[in-house]
Chains A and B, each alone.
Chain A
Amino acid sequence: AQKVTQAQTEISVVEKEDVTLDCVYETRDTTYYLFWYKQPPSGELVFLIRRNSFDEQNEISGRYSWNFQKSTSSFNFTITASQVVDSAVYFCALSEQHTGGFKTIFGAGTRLFVKA
């Protein structure tokens, strides 16, 4: 069964600090996809990054970077030099392909406060 755990409920940082959001997942599939989504105070959900199960290469995209480790079933997300506009709820998600689409479940979310 799928499961996504975001142990951090809330994180508060001061602007320009780096912050890492943790995500641990469970799945029986060998092929799966991991995502991070952002939900700012306005409420919409915005796709940020994705990683395929067969590609453990970690990447950096601007101020965002992620650390995918299959051995520990973790997919952590780091924001470098945080800004006030990064304040939002961040959701980690796990997706598995099935006929006609994807079964995607979300973690409970981590609320990030970035103070000026």
Chain B
Amino acid sequence: DSGVTQTPKHLITATGQRVTLRCSPRSGDLSVYWYQQSLDQGLQFLIQYYNGEERAKGNILERFSAQQFPDLHSELNLSSLELGDSALYFCASSVPVATALNTGELFFGEGSRLTVL
């Protein structure tokens, strides 16, 4: 158990709809990351938050948005869904600064599998 919690685990929806994926980071981690893994694809970095502020942006579509709340949980909002958005969406958390014991390894949740029909 990584300590990162993601909900829902599975989600099936139709094209054009909007969904929200939720993530609770490990206790004490201030940084949250979102990744997308399409079928047989690698992990594509979407966005990162640190203590409520956006810190880095990757290949995130304009139809997607995210935020991190004061209690540090994060939500990824996907709107106007298309078939190609079907993927496994991972949330990860990390410490904010490298230390002797922790050099930024990401701890991943189990992922939210989104199927768009």
CB pair B30–A102 under 8 Å, yes or no, is no
CB pair B108–A91 under 8 Å, yes or no, is no
Cβ of B88 under 8 Å from chain A: yes
Residues of B within 8 A of A (CB): 2, 30-31, 33, 35, 41-43, 45, 48, 50-51, 53, 55-56, 88, 90, 92, 94, 96-98, 103-108, 110-111, 113
Cβ of A41 under 8 Å from chain B: no
Interface size, A (range): 20 to 34
Which residues of chain A are within 8 angstroms of B41 by Cβ–Cβ distance?
108
Residues of A within 8 A of B (CB): 33, 35, 37, 43-47, 50, 52, 91, 93, 95, 97-109
| A interface, over-half SS | strand
A106 to B2, CA, bound (A): 19
CB pair B33–A104 under 8 Å, yes or no, is yes
* In the complex, residue of chain B having the shortest beta-carbon distance to the beta carbon of A4: B42
A95 to B97, CA, bound (A): 12
A43 to B89, CA, bound (A): 11
* In the complex, residue of chain A having the shortest beta-carbon distance to the beta carbon of B44: A106
A35 to B108, CA, bound (A): 14
CB pair A100–B50 under 8 Å, yes or no, is yes
CB pair B103–A33 under 8 Å, yes or no, is yes
A95 to B111, CA, bound (A): 21
A39 to B103, CA, bound (A): 20
